[in-house]
Structures are given as C-alpha cells and as structure tokens.
Chains A and B, each alone.
Chain A
Amino acid sequence: MTVVPSDAETLVLLIPLAAAAVLALLPGYRVTAWLNMLASLLTLAVVVALFIQPRPAPSHYLLIDDVNIVFILLNSFVGFTTSVFSASYIGHELHTGRLTPVYLRFYHAMYQVLMFAMNLALVSNNIGLMWVAIEIATLTTVLMVGIYRTHQAIEAAWKYFILGSVGIALALFGTILVYKAAQPVVGEGLDGMVWTVLMANVAHFDAATLNVAFIFLLLGYGTKVGLVPLHAWLPDAHSEGPTPISAVLSGLLLNVALFAVLRFKLLLAANPQAIMPGPLMVILGLTSVLFASLMLYRRRDIKRLFAYSSIEHMGIITFAFGMGGALANFAALLHMTMHSLTKSAIFFAVGHVSQVKGTQKIADIRGLTETHPVLGWGLVLGVFAIAGLPPLGIFTSEFLVVTSTFAREPLLAVALVVGLVVALGGLLLQLNGVAFGPPSAGTARSEASYLPLFAHLALVCAAGVYLPPALVAWFQHVAGRLG
C-alpha cells in the first residue's frame, strides 16, 4: 500500500463523508445505489489496509489501537454487505412507491453520514469527539427511522429521538465529570479529554468523581446499547424504519455505543479506588437477557421480534464484558462479531420476506420454505444461528460465556442459561409458523440479492465449526488488552 498510516486513518472518515455529499446531489436509483456500494467497499479496503499496517501514533483526536480496529473492521464489513442488500431492497421500495426519488437521495446520503459517524466514534481518541460522533449517528438514524413518514414511523422516530437525546445528554454530563476529575492531574485544556492521556494518568484521579461519571456514562450510552430498562426506543425504531437501517442499527450502532461504555470501563478499572464497573454491567446485561427473552413470545411483528432478540444479545455481550477476564472478554468479542453477522443476515432475509408478503405481521407470514425455499431456508438457518443452536458460531460464543461464568459465579451462569433457553424456545416457536405449515398469500418471486445473506451465514457456520488460529490469537490478544 502506498498510503501512509495517518492518511488511512483520515480516509476512513473522508470517504463516507465525500460519498454522502455526492450522493445527496445525484439523482437516479441505479447509479446512486452503485456509488453507495462502491464507497462502502472503498472504506472497507482502507480499513483492511489500516489493519495490516503498523499502528500509527495516536494524535489528540484520532487513535487506532488493537481494540478499536476490531470494531472498525466489523463495522465496515457489515456496512458494505448492507449496502449491497440495500441496493436490491431500495429498488423494490421505489417500485412500490413507499420511497420517492427525493427521499432516496436523502436515504443514501444519510447512510454514508451514519457510516462516517460510527467510524469517527470508533477511531476518536477524544471523549468529547466520541460523544459528538455518537450524537451525529443518533440524529441520522432518527431521520432514517422516520423516512417512510407513516404515523407509526414518525411516532417511532420521535420516541427514539427523545430517549436517544436524553441518553446522549446524560453521557455528555458524564464526559464533563471525567474531564473534571482529570483536570487537577493533567491540567486544563485538550489533554483532559484525550483518552490515551486519561488512561496514563487515571490512577491519580479523584475516584468519587469518576464513579459518578461512570454511572452517567453507563446510563447515557447504555440507552443507545438498548439495555433494559433503557430499551424502549429500540423495538419501535427497528420495526418502522427501512430494513437495511434495522440491520445497521442492530449489527453496528449498538456495538458502537457498547464500545463507548467499554472505553470508560477500562478507564475506571485502571483506578484502584474507583468502584468496579463490571458488576453494574453484569446486572444490566443479565436483566436485558431475561427481560428480552420473555418478550420474544408475544411478538406479532417480525422485525420487532428480532429487535427484542438484539436486546437479548447485547445483554449477553454486556454481561460478558462486565464479567471481564481474558476468557469472558474473548467470548464477548466473538459473540459480538457473530451477533453482528447473524442479526444483519436475518434482517436481510426479513426485509425481502416482508417485501414479497407485503406485511411484517408474523400471523400473515406462513410456510415460507414452500413458497420461497431459498429465502425461507436462509431465514431458518439464521434463526437457528441466533438462537444458539450448535454447530453454528453463536453456540460457540454463548458456550464460552456460560462456561467462563460457571467457573467464577455459578449462580449468575444459571440465570444466564435460563435466559438463553427461554429465548431459544421463543424464537423456535415463532419460526415454526413462519417457515413451515400451510403457506399464506404472497407468492411473488423475490428479486433479492442473496449474496450478502449467505455470505454472512457462511461465515457464521464456518466460525462454529472451525475458528482459524490466527483469529483466535488475535482475539485473545485484544481480550487481554480489555482487562
């Protein structure tokens, strides 16, 4: 590669931003859908280059380290595959008139702005900048959720906006408190917000201020992760927006918010006098798993069903990161990767399903495997994976989470297993009607692009059977860095 490292870092941000500007101006569906894909692919290529190169030295604003590169890589990969899915999905939406060409332009521009904001949040070395990036990501997704302009969509967007903004405001207050704690030690000015500087000096910070700051940050960013009891926006936002956005929300944005929580968890863990951040995360995570798994049973809307499943899985990941230690962190990283791939694959399938059936109501989607074998079996495979059935990837990571917990806190592990089993039952019960049984109306041929769906599922299947040693070593290394 000819790019020097610092350039690659900024390119990850510049490509989506430039693409957003171009896409906002260009008319026409085919060209813009292609450009959207191309921009996402370019970003992915730069990220891969960034991954291979030696890490550049951190600046006051940007930082590439071993931890965030995993998130960035996952982010750009799913961002690219979703843009491929989005091209075929959006074509259908235009055809049926749910989206007008003007809104399509807006949609594509927002898609790239969202990618920019998420990448910025991940590469930022500055807690203020990270906050700004997550705020931008929130605002763009709010606009995307409301894009169909139906009554329900606007209501969902409004709810998301209000809850998301309150969360963001609380997170800002926490950020200010962190600066307040840092200021007597590192001095006034920019240094007090630079994460690497904070990490180096955190042992001398005032512990009481840090504790209160973490509570605000956990509640604030936790709202964006969708942790119970702060999850109320999540099912609505998933079910009313365009399906590619549901895929990006579930697969990526929740991870980005969790990454913010993780950054501050590391900060607190490095201060001996501060509270342990782990148990708080464990409690929130476990509550989310138990609550969401029960909620799976009575869902009537297929996208809401999988939104609750996302809450459950974010709960598992938060739980595992909260437990901490090399093995639990490894399991959490693996689970996060698997969940992102599987959940976005499921939303790809669900998007096409709801298009051919013309509805999102579970009761009206019956016998998919008969009418649309490829799509139906793809969905079946995805749900099997997300429910944690062996030998698929999520089984491996859930198994690791449970066993690492059993070794240290058996009672917590029992509670977690109850949640997992309840969720398994709920998902399979719902799947049974959707995939099998007498088919319902809506036999139109689906003009779907199956590539993203099956690429994700193939990766998840492969990971369940065989994890390449290089990947394992890499994740172990990162897990060690996570404390």
Chain B
Amino acid sequence: MDKIVFDIAHLLAGSILLVSFMMLYQDRLSALLNLFALHAVLLALSVAWQAHVHAAPHLYVTAMIALFFKALFIPLALHRIVVRLNIHRQIETVVGVGLTMMLGMGLAALAMLLMVRITPDSDLLGREDLGFALATVMLGLLLMVTRRNAVSQVIGFMSLENGTILAATGAKGMPMVVEISVAFSILIAFIVIGVFLFRIRERFDTVDLQALDQFRGEQG
C-alpha cells in the first residue's frame, strides 16, 4: 500500500480532531458555527478520500451530504436563528477554557489508546481512523456538557455525529443502509431541532434574552 494514502487519511481525520479542539474553546456563537462548517467540510473530504481509496462510490453520496447539508445548509440556517435571537455575541461556558482543554486532551489520548489496542491490526487505515473518530465523539460530548446554550449544544451534538460518520466510513465495506440512514436521521434530527428552536423563540424570546443579559451582567 502507498504510504501517501495513509498520510492523507491521517491528515484529514487529524484535522477534524483539531477543529473539534478549536470548537471547545471558541466561546462566540457565530465563530463556533463557522468552525462547525469547517468540521463538516473536512469530514466531507475525509469521506471522499475513503471512497477514492477503497473504490467505494457510494461513499461519495455521504460526502456530498456532509458537504451540502452539514457544511452549508445547517450553519447558514443556524446563523439566521442566532442573529434573530440576538445571541451571536457571547455564549455561556460552564467550565473554564483551560480545564476544558485539559479534559479534551485527556479524552483524546484515552480514545486513541483504547482504539489502537483493541482493534485487530488487519486494516491499519480503518483502525487509526476509528481512534480519531472516537476522540471526535468524546470531544463532541464534552462540548455538549460544558455548554448551556441550546444552539451550542446542537453544534456539539452534530460534531459528535460527525465523529460517528467518520467511524462508519472508516469501517471498510460497511453497508450502504447505514450511511443513508445516518444522513437521513440527521436530517430528521435537524428538523426536530429547527422546530424546537422556532418554538423556543416564539414562546420565550424575551425570557431567553433576559437570562442572557443577566448572565452578561454577572460577568462584567
């Protein structure tokens, strides 16, 4: 096998993980959304690379979904919502940045150690990808735990789902059923989220803003 094949796959999966770390400390909502878009673009590239390497054309569909739906449509829609709710300037972090980063590094190390140890060493590419994928899932969870804001929790959840898709495409020859359904379920998930965000806005926009204002007052 070509060494360059592994290197490119590693570069892409590693970049996804890196963006996950950047999302951890990014405390402005609009910047966080941009980072998520970057996350999804990298995922699309990574999936496309896997499709190319494994000669599995159906994976290009997954890559396209990641690119158009997650990297373009969702961030744009969320941008609109965030701007309308007037909360694009600041978001609430529950734990400090330093501690979050330390936790993140610990989780990533743990994920890599676990995955490299347990999986059978027949397929190096898939195995290392799985490690990156688990680390991304863990960081997504951490992002959700350290944030209180509904929008940033959604972003955390979607970066977590990106991690599972990375894992699914890394597993060689995994049936099409799952890829379509993963993409499909994210679509539904987003509809649900969208409905919620709209409902939250139409019912409690004043309440939400007051809470945010109070929070700002505490900080200042």
Contact = CB atoms under 8 A, between A and B. Distances in A.
A450 to B, nearest CB: 35
A92 interface: no
User: Most B CB atoms within 10 A — which of A132, A172, A177, A184?
Assistant: A172
A208 B199 contact: no
Interface string B151-168: 001000100110110011
B200 interface: yes
B211 interface: no
A165 B157 contact: yes
A469 interface: no
A378 B218 CA distance: 53
Contact of A151 (B120, B164, B195, B203): B203
A233 to B, nearest CB: 14
Nearest to B157: A165
Interface in B129-151: 130, 133-134, 137, 141, 144, 150
Given A128-B178, A154-B200, A184-B120, A176 B192 contact: no
Interface stretch (A47-55, A67-75, A186-194): A186-194
Contacts of A165: 157, 189
A132 B196 contact: no
B210 interface: no
A162 B144 CA distance: 9
Given A128-B181, A151-B204, A166-B157, A179 B174 contact: yes
A101 to B, nearest CB: 19
Given A139-B189, A208-B118, A128 B203 contact: no
Given A193-B177, A206-B119, A209-B120, A154 B144 contact: no
A126 interface: yes
Interface string B199-211: 1100110000000
B3 interface: no
Interface residues of A, number: 43
Contact of B182 (A126, A154, A172, A208): A172
A437 B94 CA distance: 47
Interface residues of B, number: 43
Interface stretch (A142-150, A249-257, A325-333): A142-150
Nearest to A162: B153
Contacts of A206: 118-120
Contact of A149 (B133, B177, B203): B203
A131 B184 CA distance: 13
B175 A149 contact: no
B118 A190 contact: no
Contact of A190 (B134, B160, B175, B195): B175
B116 to A, nearest CB: 11
A451 B133 CA distance: 52
A176 B181 CA distance: 13
B144 A132 contact: no
A172 B141 contact: no
User: Most A CB atoms within 10 A — which of B137, B141, B153, B178?
Assistant: B178
Contacts of B175: 128, 189-190, 192-193
B219 interface: no
B188 interface: yes
A158 B189 CA distance: 12
A263 interface: no
Interface string A146-173: 1001010010011001100110011011
Contact of B122 (A129, A166, A184, A187): A184
Given A162-B144, A165-B157, A212 B171 contact: no
Given A129-B177, A158-B150, A166 B120 contact: no
A251 to B, nearest CB: 24
B173 A183 contact: yes
A138 to B, nearest CB: 9
B178 A193 contact: yes
Given A143-B192, A154-B203, A209 B167 contact: no
A176 B177 contact: no
A188 B114 CA distance: 24
A169 B119 contact: no
Given A151-B203, A176-B168, A180-B126, A169 B173 contact: no
Contacts of B203: 149, 151, 154
Contacts of B199: 146, 149, 154
Contacts of A146: 196, 199
A211 B182 CA distance: 24
Contacts of A179: 171, 174
A135 interface: yes
Contact of B188 (A139, A173, A175, A181): A139
B172 A158 contact: no
Nearest to B137: A173
Interface in B74-129: 114, 117-120, 122, 126
B114 A154 contact: no
A406 B53 CA distance: 57
A179 B120 CA distance: 12
Contacts of A131: 178, 181
User: Most B CB atoms within 10 A — which of A146, A149, A154, A169?
Assistant: A169
Contacts of A158: 150, 196
23 contacts: A131-B178, A139-B188, A151-B203, A161-B192, A161-B193, A162-B153, A165-B157, A165-B189, A166-B141, A169-B137, A169-B160, A169-B164, A176-B164, A177-B130, A181-B120, A183-B172, A188-B172, A188-B173, A189-B173, A192-B174, A208-B119, A209-B119, A209-B120
Given A135-B185, A180-B130, A206-B119, 7 more contacts: A131-B181, A132-B181, A151-B203, A169-B160, A172-B168, A176-B164, A193-B177
Interface of A: 126, 128-129, 131-132, 135-136, 139, 142-143, 146, 149, 151, 154, 157-158, 161-162, 165-166, 169-170, 172-173, 175-177, 179-181, 183-184, 187-190, 192-193, 206, 208-209, 211-212
Sort A-B residue pairs by CB-CB distance and give the 4 closest, nearest first.
A188-B173, A208-B118, A128-B178, A132-B181
